[in-house]
Structure 1
């Protein structure tokens, strides 16, 4: 164990280090400037990552006969599929409200600060929709269903990101 003088020395050293760290931290103004710089320099819209997901989504759509299976397969649990469509429609409506109306027409870049309820509602709707679609389409593609749906989701997100 440490004796009293060693504890006092250790305590003073930590206090001195803490004071030094407090003096060297950046001020709030510098943080705001760096945030403005980040907003000023947008990332390129088309990159390898987005191209990969769009191509993967197209390949999955083609090789799984995605739309034909959705329209014609009788194994799909229609009630879960309908719930998924309603939830996905809610999610996409909120996203279009944010992208088209708030960002394009109103010019609000940080709409999550203006309307703080939109991101959690959209996230919850999307998670519930993905669960509903997984349950509805499980009889068609079995354990590949989450992988197929995730690939489709990423392709659509990357395609939409080209608009924004």
Structure 2
């Protein structure tokens, strides 16, 4: 008689891996929320939100969002001939998009660190790393 795990089509190893990944995502999201609450991150963002770092950060974030929207929505659905393009050849359609997004992301990271350094000092990169991982894990859950 087959075991219940093979009857449903999933192996115990696959179930363990799925549960472990979900637990890691929940851990990083909870860590980001707790750290943001106890460090009063929203207040620090508002209190120190002036000067060139905030403007460059918003410009980089807009650029990254534009590249994401272009690759995700425009290329597959709004081409000139109204046919869906082959996404395996997206490098031909947008050859420098990943490099540009990487440079914008690094610039964004440096600017946000400069922006929040007066609030958290040497702990700023650690705090922002945990917040970034929490955000990425939140996006990965959907």
Range class of TM-score, shorter chain: 0.5 to 0.7
- Say which of 32, 38, 45 aligns to 1:70: 45
TM-score (norm 1): 0.60
Tell me how far 1:111 sits from its aligned partner: 6.4
TM-score (norm 2): 0.68
Kindly name which structure, 1 or 2, has the bigger radius of gyration based on alpha carbons: 1
Moved over 6 A (4+): none
Equivalents in 2 of 1:69, 1:109: separation in Å?
A: 41
* 1:92 is the counterpart of 2:65: yes
**C-alpha root-mean-square deviation of aligned residues, in Å?**
2.9
* 1:113 is the counterpart of 2:113: no
Distance change >3 Å, CA 102–CA 125, structure 1 → 2: same
Equivalents in 1 of 2:58, 2:89: separation in Å?
A: 25
Structure 1 unpaired stretches of 5+ = 1-42
| Aligned residues between the structures | 119
Tell me how far 1:93 sits from its aligned partner: 2.6
RCO higher in 1 or 2 (8 Å CA, sep ≥ 6)? 2
* 1:50 is the counterpart of 2:39: no
* 1:122 is the counterpart of 2:97: no
Structure 2 unpaired stretches of 5+ = 1-16, 79-83
